[in-house]
Structures are given as C-alpha cells and as structure tokens.
Copies of this chain bind each other. A is one copy, B any other.
Amino acid sequence: MVIVMAPGASAHEIDALVSVVERAGGTASVSRGVSRTIIGLVGDIERFETLGLLGKPGVADVLRVSVPYKLVSRENHPARSVVRVAGVPIGPGTMTLIAGPCAVETPRQTLAAARMAQQAGASLLRGGAYKPRTSPYAFQGLGEDGLRILADVRETTGMPVVTEVVSAHDVSLVTEYADMLQVGTRNMQNFALLQAVGDCGKPVMLKRGMNATIEEWLMAAEYIAQRGNLDIVLCERGIRTFETATRNTLDVSAVPVAQGLTHLPVIIDPSHSGGQRELVLPLSRAAMAADADGLIIDVHPTPEEALCDGPQALVADDLAELGRAVREFPPLLGRHLTAGASLVA
C-alpha cells in the first residue's frame, strides 16, 4: 500500500501518518521527493484499511495495487498520461518525433542535425553530451560544453532538448540545461541515478535495459515515481537475443504490453534497435503502427564522420520519407504528429 501526500503536506502530517501505521503494527518508508512525498507501507493491509488513511491531513491518495509497480501502474490510474516536455506533449492522441545527433560534436553539426530533425517533423531535439561507452578509450561526449551547444541550438531552433545523464553526480548540472533527462539502457537499474532524476523536477525518458523484462522496466520507473516525479516516458530500444543480423532485436510487442500495464507513454528508438540506417524507416513505421506514443531517431549531417553510431544515423536523403511516414501513419490510429516550433523560429 502506498500513500501519496499532497504537494504541500507538512513534516508534522507525515510524521503523524507514520505513527498511525506503526501503531497498527506496520512499517512506513518515507520517500521525500522534490514535489511530493510518497510513503510505502508494509504490513497487514486489511488492518491498514481500517485506519481511514485517505481522510488524514495532507493525504492526497492511498493506493492499494496488486502489481509490484504501484505509482506507474495502469491498474491504479486507468487513463493514459500525457507528459509535457517544455510544453510539447508525449502521450495518447499525438505521435511525437524526437530526433537529433547521437552525440553532440560541434555547434555546426548539432545545428545542422536539428534542422534535419525539424524538416522531418521533429518537435524535440535529442543529442548526447555524456555518452556511456563500452570502452574507456572511446569518445565520452563533450560534457558541459555539449550541454551549452544544445542550449544554443534550442535558442536558434525553438526545439526543447532531451539529453542523457549517466551519473547521479551530473544530474543537477544536466537539469540546468535540459528539458528532459534521458536514462540510458545500461543505467536502467542504476538505482542512485533513478532516484536522482526522480528528484530533478524535469521529465525523464527511461530506456529499457537491453536485457530487462517489461516488469523490471516498470519497476525502474517506479523508482523515479517514488521520488514524486511521474513525468516519465518509457523508451523501448531493442533487447539482446541470439540474432546477430541486427544489433539488438526491437521488441515491438513491448508497446502494447507496456501500454496495458502502465499509464506512462511508451516510445520507440528504431536507430539503436537495429543499428543500421536501412532499418530505421521500416522499424519507425512498425512502431507507429503498434501505436507507440513517439519515436526517437538519430540523424547526422555527415554520418561517416560521426564520433558515435554513424552507421545508424539517417541522412538528408531519408528525411522526406520519414517526414511522410510520421504524417501518414498516426492518423490511422487516431493520432496526429506533434507540431514542433516553426521552422522559421
């Protein structure tokens, strides 16, 4: 059982609740997030139900949910949620395209990629300043310099910025620059990072671990939610299987399955799933047809010079086809492409 406190609940109200629970033989774990406090109860649920918790001062909601992820569960919150990133919606009714370079390299490359993204219909700019790399000798990203470039390109293009954070230590810095923080596949169970982005006050994109079950992915989201941050978008990016013809295997079924279990939006990354430019368009179309709430795609003005994942980046020639797909497919499922900042912005 989980108690969600009202935003302005006082320390005194929280303490009072904990006492009530403990007197009833239970234990209460209090998670004080930036925007809300969440209290998890362990003990005799039947007993707790007799305590009138919902009527106590400061209590916004009391959830009794049978699944292990409670705050993100659809069982408790049947309506599917819309997450807004600097005003841009991700969720039911829309199909939001996020695009940009895998890694921020130079102001010029980033701006060129952002223009390409806009041309294809993107309303949000992606770009990595911190890159989690398998090898310590590989390019690790520009760090704060990269964040500054992203902020400048946002200024120029009007596109809000989605960027990855790879360490709890960097969360406050990244939050200063980004409109949405991304937690990558290798960090899906980096619980310290999950708690830090749970406290950051900005929306979070949580990529599925390449070896994670859907249930574990929702539990990871619950770590963020438990800190009071429910502005979470889930991103499927391929799982690890025995097949070697693709980098990973896009689990397109994860869209309907996850949407049935959680109220959070679910988007797809076709670039990292397949690892090949030729697969980005078919997988993007498949994702939209599976009713994904959005797509996140790598684009690069000159992928042969890219410092990271060049082979999977779309180039200028592909944009018209992507632009057509993101306009034609969503209406078949009652969605429309999320409008971005004007191209003349």
A interface vs B, CB < 8 Å? Answer: 2, 29, 31, 40, 42, 68-70, 132-137, 166-169, 186-187, 189-193, 209-211, 213-216, 219, 222-223, 226, 239-246, 249-257, 260, 273-274, 278-279, 282-283, 285-291, 328-329, 332-333
Contact = CB atoms under 8 A, between A and B. Distances in A.
B243 A251 contact: yes
A70 B257 CA distance: 35
A245 B215 contact: yes
B189 A169 contact: no
B257 A249 contact: no
Given A169-B168, A241-B242, A242-B211, A283 B137 contact: no
A134 B216 contact: yes
A291 B70 CA distance: 38
A130 to B, nearest CB: 10
In the complex, the count of this chain's copies comes to 4
Given A186-B190, A211-B210, A285-B290, A253 B239 contact: no
B286 A252 contact: yes
A279 B291 CA distance: 11
Contact of A283 (B166, B244, B290, B333): B290
What are the 10 A-B residue pairs with the smallest beta carbon separation, nearest first? Answer: A211-B211, A289-B289, A167-B192, A285-B289, A186-B189, A286-B286, A286-B290, A256-B282, A136-B226, A40-B137
